[in-house]
Amino acid sequence: MSGCNAQAIIDAQLDLTIEQVRERMQPYTARVAELQRRYAMKRGVLLQALWLIQEEFGWVPRIGIKWAAEVSDVSPVHAYGVAEFYTMYRKAPMGRFLIQVCEGMCCQLKGANDLIAHLEQALGIHAGDTTEDGLFTVLRVQCLAACGNGPSVLINDEFLYGPGELNEHQEGWSPSAADLDRWIERLRKEAEAKPQPDKVDSLGDIMLDTKGHPGSDGASGAPLPKDYAPPPPALKVKAESQGSAITVSCLCAPEITEASVERSTDGGTTWAAIGTIDVVKTPGVPGPPGGPKTPSYTDEIAVGSTAAYRIVAREAEREARPSAVAEVTAAAVSDDGEEGGKA
């Protein structure tokens, strides 16, 4: 980042504490509460919470990601991964007008590099930088899904893909250097006429005071039915015999808290629950509580008989559909210690 006061903004915001961010985000309390009511689980709020940070700060400083994690009930590192993944979250302060030019393959073929070079020359900056007056930032980006009008150019959130207004689409039209000059001129005049840009609601003017999602905190709608949005079933179910002892194991999603083992001895026609096991975090797997979990259960059947096993995973009140079935025949352990069946 060069030019303008972007570095000064970054430096100032790097000194922010989480307490200061919480205070600054205080006016958003009602909006956050509304968002939290919209989702059965608070983590659904994360993307919008990051947008609110961007709305307030103009970009997403790291300490702002921590605030977004707090209100979404996820770990800071999870929120950081999400913020980093999406390019529309700004990782540094930008100019008032963000000009993004696609350098994807189609746009390259239609002269994207020439257009970027022209912009750099016209604004006196390199792509990635912001002009001294804080008005323009130019970024090279990947496919904007407007290849037919390439080289694709976005000015803030609007496409330049017609000779008239932004977002006025004309099929097959491509922006030229002269078009960009015209827009730079026009945007400069707009900034002169209105030194303070209008504040944009990053969430598109959300409605307040809805009932919220049934089952979410503070919602006044009907309680969530038990089978709504069931958790993922147990995966990789295995049944292995060591003589008459059968070990049933599987892999469960982090949110699973309990798994019931069911057995069928009539080829899967009828099932009976034979035990409930608490899933445990895999030893040695890094991460917060709630990382990958591998439960196992030991059953006993007569040597030579066959049984099928499946697992029904639960997350609190919610029940996953039964897992895939693993079938095993208990084989006698031979004298040399070789064991029997596996599924």
Binding site for ligand FES (CB under 6 A): 102, 104-107, 143-147, 150, 152
CB closer to ligand FES out of 45 and 144: 144
Q: Report in angstroms how near the CB of residue 47 gets to ligand FES at its nearest.
A: 23
Q: Report in angstroms how near the CB of residue 121 gets to ligand FES at its nearest.
A: 21
Burial 10-34 (b: 16+ CB within 10 A, else e): eeebeebeeeebeeebeebeebbeb
CB closer to ligand FES out of 147 and 177: 147
Residue 294 belongs to what H/E stretch?
A: none
Burial 79-100 (b: 16+ CB within 10 A, else e): bbebbeeeeebbebbbbbbbbb
Alpha-carbon dihedral sign for residues 202, 197, 98, 166 = positive
Q: Report in angstroms how near the CB of residue 149 gets to ligand FES at its nearest.
A: 8
CB closer to ligand FES out of 45 and 146: 146
Torsion of the alpha carbons at 267, 268, 272 and 276, rounded to the nearest 10: 110
**CA-based nearest residue to 256, from 274, 285, 272, 280:** 280
CB closer to ligand FES out of 48 and 100: 100
**CA-based nearest residue to 343, from 278, 331, 276:** 331
CB closer to ligand FES out of 169 and 189: 169
What is the rounded CA–CA span in Å between residue 53 and residue 35? 14
CB closer to ligand FES out of 108 and 276: 108
CB closer to ligand FES out of 42 and 110: 110
**CA-based nearest residue to 228, from 213, 246, 212:** 213
**CA-based nearest residue to 40, from 213, 207, 209:** 213
Residue nearest to ligand FES (CB): 104
Q: Report in angstroms how near the CB of residue 110 gets to ligand FES at its nearest.
A: 8
Residue 102 belongs to what H/E stretch?
A: strand 97-102
Q: Report in angstroms how near the CB of residue 161 gets to ligand FES at its nearest.
A: 10
Q: Report in angstroms how near the CB of residue 185 gets to ligand FES at its nearest.
A: 25
**CA-based nearest residue to 289, from 79, 75, 46, 83:** 75
Q: Report in angstroms how near the CB of residue 90 gets to ligand FES at its nearest.
A: 20
CB closer to ligand FES out of 71 and 119: 119
Q: Report in angstroms how near the CB of residue 105 gets to ligand FES at its nearest.
A: 6
